[in-house]
Amino acid sequence: MDMNESSTRDGTGRLAHHGRGGELFVVFVVNLVLRIVTLGLYHFWAKTRVRRYLWTQTSFDGERLEYTGTGLELLVGFVKALVILMGGVLLVAAALSQLEALALPLVIAIYFGFPVLAGFALYGARRYRLTRTRLRGIRFGLDGSGWDHGLKLLGYGLLTVLTLGLYTPYMRMKLAGNLYNNTRFGSEPFTFDGDGRDLFGRFLLAVLLTLPTLGLVWVWYQAAEFRYTLSRLRVGDIAFELAESDMNLAWFFVTNALIVVLTLGLGLPWVMVRTLRHLGEQMVISGQLDYAAIRQAQEESEATGEGLAEALDLGAF
Amino acid sequence: MDYRGWWNDGQSAGRLEVRVRLLGPRLLVSTADNDAAVAELSLAGLALAEEVYARQPVRLKHDEWPDARLTVADHALMTKLIAAEPRLGHRYHGDRGTLHRLAIWGGGLLAVVAALVGVVQFGAEPLAAAIPQEWEKALGEGLMADFIEHYGLCDGEPGAGHVQALTDVLASAPGSPHRFRVHVLDGAEVNAFALPGGYVAVFRGLLERADGPGELAGVLAHEVAHGLERHPTEQLVRRSGFSLLTGLIAGDASGFAVLAGDVASFMADMANSRADEREADRLAMALLNDAGMDSRGLPRFFEKLQSEDGDLPQALALVSTHPASEARLAETQALARAGADPMTEEAWLAVKRACDGAGT
């Protein structure tokens, strides 16, 4: 068996996925049985098990990723998040019962507080997953603060509302920048210099074509944004590019949705695997990492952020 | 025997090509080029980093080196490791194909689901019996209030009172769990139904279709029989059980699981309702006969609905919720006896006018 699973040196194939839909389907069946038997409690372990499969079947420069998170961590994070949320709700209810005049300021506080909380949760979830992801034994990491991300989400969100949505691509690139510029592989930082300006034209086009295409144009925009985001990302000297066009990637997303719908959800494992495989095949990667110079850094984080994201149904993968 | 692999020391992302040897209770790791010792890993502290499937390199970690990883592509090493330390086989699936695993776990899934369906199907009756009567009463009252709000109530007296009086006579059997309360609903459906807690409803359409009080008495006896047997409560328990089960299985909202659950639930419903109907028919005939009433009304009403099926759409309502069959007709006919009229001609005319004031 060839240890160097990336054989080509033209830049494609350095990221590769080796998973099989059938294998992942069995993982889903195992998870389903255990979820039923445990009355749903296995959910957190199930999630972990799927991630472990997808991570380990994905290789970069011939070495597979490793997922080290555990179901117990996710369960504890979820319970903590629930306690925090319930505490918040009880606090608001208690305040209201004491003083009716607080109602309006409280409603305003909740409206402003929710994006901050959501940003905090998403950032925490990202941090949890990155610190549980290893390549060559070295952890990924996310610096920066979740509250800072939440405040940014609120601030850019307000700007977006004030500009009737026109600020959206700028907001999305700024938030992506905050995430990627704080991401590290061990001691090696990621950098991101995407700018909403570069997407604004396509964003306007998508707005104009929303009605004539019954909204389908947004799949194309999503593909374009994804390809653009990737192209502005660096890890050391490494740069990424998707070889295919925006339109091709959009069509790929559409076929994924069709497979899931037409198989009534049974095709989901195949869709997961084929998506990662497709991205690996299309991704052109240039530059080299000086692996020996990359050191282990940053301790693992706790899973409260991920728990909060789950409790708020923010759809973290 | 030497195996080739990679050693990640967990300090830097650089990796070392190594030679791995199984020697007694430990793995010896040394550099591939000049065989210099790198690490000595006791089998007791060794673990797989994740589940290993066919074609996947084996990645090992060790208690004493929490951040380090040893990766070996050749699964022959695993066979030897498992022989020496069976615990390591727990996450190793490289020797069994996908179909093999699917057969095991798919079979397990079917067994678990079948067991739970059995629990819901056969547990509903004892569970329904254990529900306090006050709960059933409150539940039935609430449901009936919804029906009354939707259809409107026919409470024209003395007609409505006569329907209640007839129900009281039929439900006076010893051991009756409830006092039965009957309502006439202002709907055109030729139908009647029973709810938990002894609540029974008859539609205006049925009063209009019935020729004489004997047929009404037959239908009321049938619904009272459902109530005496606690069928409505059982059905409710069973349906909640099935929807809970579907929710549990479809935890991640797979459309297929929801669809399969609904189909199973519907089929169970149909099978149960057929058995319940036959049971209610027999008990209804007994109630009528014990009260000394003419019990020929029920089969006569069935017969009429069957013959009118084709050209009377309203009649379909009773047929769809009360699947009629030749067998039911024959059985009730066999049990039917002549007897007293359920009410006077004058009272019957008042019943027919119970809805005159409603819906205006």
Per-residue pLDDT tens digits for B237-286? 888 888 888 777 776 556 666 677 777 677 667 667 778 888 899 999 99
The whole-angstrom distance between B236's CA and the closest CA on chain A is 21
Average pLDDT over residues A162-174: 96
Model confidence pLDDT, tens digit, residues B207-228: 888 888 889 999 999 999 999 8
Query: Amino acid identity, residue A119?
Result: G
Average pLDDT over residues A39-49: 91
- The pLDDT score that the predictor gives to residue B313 is 44
Enumerate helices (H) and strands (E) in chain B, giving the number of each. 12, 10
Alpha helix (H) residue ranges in chain A: 21-37, 43-56, 71-98, 103-131, 146-162, 168-180, 197-209, 217-231, 246-262, 268-282, 304-311
- DSSP at A17: E
Those residues with Cβ within 8 angstroms of residue A43's Cβ, 6 or more apart along the chain or in another chain:
A35, B251
With CB atoms and an 8 Å threshold, state whether B11 touches A296: yes
The answer to whether residue B249 neighbours chain A at the CB level (below 8 Å) is yes
Helices B159-170 and B345-352, packing angle to 10 deg: 120
Q: What is the ipTM of this complex?
A: 0.86
The whole-angstrom distance between B4's CA and the closest CA on chain A is 9
Query: Amino acid identity, residue A108?
Result: I
Is the CA virtual torsion A12, A14, A16, A18 positive or negative?
Answer: positive
Mean pLDDT of chain A: 89
With CB atoms and an 8 Å threshold, state whether B73 touches A263: no
Which of B4, B112, B255 lies closest to A264 in CB terms?
Answer: B255
Mean pLDDT of chain B: 85
Residues of A in Cβ contact (< 8 Å) with B11: 295-296
**For testing the chain B interface, which of A3, A24, A58 should be mutated: the one with the most B CBs within 10 Å?**
A3
Which of B57, B74, B248 lies closest to A36 in CB terms?
Answer: B248
pLDDT of residue B311 exceeding 50: no
A240: helix, coil or strand? strand
Closest residue in B to A265 (Cα–Cα): B254
In whole angstroms, give the CA distance from residue A263 to residue B199: 44
Pull the structure tokens for residue A196.
Answer: 């909403």
In whole angstroms, give the CA distance from residue A93 to residue A81: 18
Contact yes or no for B302/B332 (Cβ under 8 A): yes
Model confidence pLDDT, tens digit, residues A273-317: 999 999 999 999 999 999 999 999 866 666 677 777 766 655 444
In whole angstroms, give the CA distance from residue B136 to residue B233: 7
DSSP B229-244: TTHHHHHHHHHHHHHH
With CB atoms and an 8 Å threshold, state whether A137 touches B50: no
The whole-angstrom distance between B24's CA and the closest CA on chain A is 26
Tokens 């068996």 correspond to A1
Which of B13, B105, B254 lies closest to A186 in CB terms?
Answer: B13
Closest residue in B to A22 (Cα–Cα): B98
In whole angstroms, give the CA distance from residue B34 to residue B17: 11
Interchain CB contacts (distance < 8 Å): A and B: 132
The answer to whether residue B97 neighbours chain A at the CB level (below 8 Å) is no
In this prediction the pTM is 0.81
The answer to whether residue B167 neighbours chain A at the CB level (below 8 Å) is no
Helices A21-37 and B231-249, packing angle to 10 deg: 140
Q: Is A299 exposed, middle or buried (0-12, 13-18, 19+ CB in 10 A)?
A: exposed
Model confidence pLDDT, tens digit, residues B71-92: 999 999 999 999 999 999 999 9
Print the SS3 string covering B51-118. CECCCCCEEEEECCEEEEEEEECCCHHHHHHHHHCHHHHHHECCCCCHHHHHHHHHHHHHHHHHHHHH
Residues of A in Cβ contact (< 8 Å) with B98: 20, 22-23, 26
Those residues with Cβ within 8 angstroms of residue B347's Cβ, 6 or more apart along the chain or in another chain:
B158, B159, B162, B213
Average pLDDT over residues B132-148: 90
- The pLDDT score that the predictor gives to residue B95 is 85
Model confidence pLDDT, tens digit, residues A97-119: 887 777 888 888 888 989 999 99
Which of A26, A63, A289 lies closest to B102 in CB terms?
Answer: A26
With CB atoms and an 8 Å threshold, state whether A1 touches B55: yes
